[in-house]
Copies of this chain bind each other. A is one copy, B any other.
Amino acid sequence: MCGIVGIVDAGGVSFPLYYALYALQHRGQESAGISTFEGTTLYTHKAQGLVAEVFDRHTLEGLRGNAGIGHVRYPTTGSKVPENVQPFNFRYRGLDLSIAHNGNLVNTAEMREEYERRGQIFCTSADTEIIGNIIAEALRTSKSMEDAVRLCMRRLRGSYATVALLNDTVYAFRDPLGIKPLCIGKFDHGYIVASESVAIDALDGTLIRDVRPGELVRIDENGLSSVQIATANRRAHCIFEYIYFARADSVIDGTLVYDVRRRIGQGLYDAAPVEGDIVCPVPDSGTAYAAGYAERSGVPFVEGLMKNRYMGRTFIMPTQQQRERAVRIKLNTVRGNLKDKRVVLVDDSIVRGTTSRRIVKMIREAGASEIHLRVGSPPIISPCYLGVDMPTRAELIASGKEVEAVRESIGATSLTYVPLKDLVEAIGCDERNLCTGCLTGCYPVDINGEKCYHCVVDYVAGTHQADLSTFRTGKQRT
């Protein structure tokens, strides 16, 4: 999971990109980077660390120009090397291209194999480099980014929300199923595309709409234009963005994430009403769900767990006891709120179950008489191949287990997951337009050894038909 942003603005872009990345920091804390362009020069500054650590006034002032892109990267094991820090810059036949990307490709191995057969070498382990190769392949015979992105969409399988800077023009495109989010905003003197609308809010811009699945958006000093490169007969928006990943104040495809979570919370009460004294969220991700539950049930919303807001990077402790303690000081129980109470504990999801088990234990030790765990998602039973850093089936507590077995393992008095139907209803879109792979084990794209929605093949045909669209001139600045 990563966060991306692209801005063209007459007043310079490095500071706006910096603020936008700050607002997207929850999507990745491993590294941050910005590329901008002015005159004939591509400027890039990127490094490992948080946005606030990577950039200072001096480096931002050096990132000149009115067009640029930015990226924050999520830490995934084994890939913490400097060359994986995005944006990636490619030089190809006199063109300076900078790319940043959120998502995960599933045909990487074949693609690499194919390019390597031709003699291509890969400098990194990142998907972004494959995207760069396809763009280069297209540009060998055509000068058009439209052709290049068309080739990408034909050849790439998986999720990819991408921004690219080609000289002073920002391009943005999203895979034909729209798996990862990407939206468009407007300023007085420019446009922005970003993973989430909070980046637009941070700059006081106006959210226009989402980038459409299969659409290519182009922003330059003349404004914004777009072409539909591919259309599929269904969409596959990542359901986990709504459940956990996106910020609650983000609006995805016209829907406020907070509202989804609150409605799920309401539905959790309807699905399994229980007598409780307090509704207690697991901070911070369970709060909106708990608010919804409290609202519907009339049971008071009361915090029973407090997060330490000052956790910095801490060193590795010498003993096991100290390592456990280090975990403990991050989360404290509010004993007075829990003692002798029937607690309805609300969380967004259960992945491995280790955190839930620890929290249930803490609350029980604080004196709660009953702990009714209510979960804002159905059981997670399958891995994600499309961009969310999730464990294997063996590590997923709900994989191949009945709910009762999960409850027992976690130690809760009762356990209720939200039914998929209710979750989809809360999101407010057709289930066939959502990727529910982690909940159903059936994926929108063909993955070796996994079930696949059979309809997926259609989108390639759709792509061809969409090729006739032409660039429409964007809103002009005066």
Q: Are B123's CB and A202's CB within 8 A?
A: no
A385 at the interface (CB under 8 A from B): no
Does A344 lie at the interface of the complex (its beta carbon under 8 Å from any beta carbon of B)? no
Contact between chains at A47 and B82 (CB < 8 Å): yes
Q: Is A291 an interface residue (CB 8 A)?
A: yes
Kindly provide the distance from the CB of A196 to the nearest chain B CB, expressed in whole angstroms.
11
Q: A89-B83, A308-B25 are in contact. Are A333 and B300 (CB under 8 A)?
A: no
Tell me the complex Cα distance, A201–B328, Å.
9
B303 touching A288, Cβ below 8 Å: yes
Chain B residue numbers with a CB within 8 Å of A314 are: 52
Contact A26 B309 (CB under 8 A): yes
- Cβ contact of A92, chosen from B53, B88, B122, B298, cutoff 8 A: B122
Interface residues of A in 36-53 (CB under 8 A from B): 44, 46-48, 50-53
List residues 179-221 of chain A with CB under 8 A from any CB of chain B.
198, 201-204
A residues 260-288 near B (Cβ < 8 Å) are 262, 284, 287-288
The answer to whether B81 and A89 have CB atoms under 8 Å apart is yes
A90 touches B249 (CB 8 A): no
Report if A236 contacts B (CB, 8 A): no
Binds B, one of A131-139, A368-376, A437-445, A462-470: A131-139
Neighbour of A118 across the interface among B82, B118, B204, B312, CB < 8 A: B118
Q: In chain A, residues 140-191, which have Cβ atoms closer than 8 Å to a Cβ of chain B? A: 140
| Dominant secondary structure at the A interface | mixed
Which of B113, B298, B316, B334 contacts A248, CB < 8 Å?
Answer: B334
Q: Which residues of A275-329 have CB atoms within 8 Å of chain B's CB atoms?
A: 284, 287-288, 291, 294-295, 298, 300-303, 306, 308-318, 322, 325-326, 328-329
Once the chains bind, are A303 and B258 in contact (CB under 8 Å)? Answer: yes
Do residues B123 and A124 form an inter-chain contact, with CB atoms below 8 A?
yes
Find out whether the CB atom of A119 lies under 8 angstroms from the CB atom of B90. no
Once the chains bind, are A202 and B329 in contact (CB under 8 Å)? yes
Expressed in whole angstroms, the Cα–Cα distance for A117 and B308 within the complex equals: 47
Q: Please give me the 9 A-B residue pairs with the lowest Cβ-Cβ distance, nearest first.
A: A256-B336, A52-B312, A82-B82, A295-B300, A25-B310, A123-B123, A249-B306, A121-B136, A249-B334
**A residues near B, CB below 8 A?**
15, 19, 22-23, 25-26, 29, 44, 46-48, 50-53, 56-57, 61, 81-83, 85, 88-93, 112-113, 116-125, 129, 132-133, 135-137, 140, 198, 201-204, 247-249, 251, 256, 258-259, 262, 284, 287-288, 291, 294-295, 298, 300-303, 306, 308-318, 322, 325-326, 328-329, 332-337
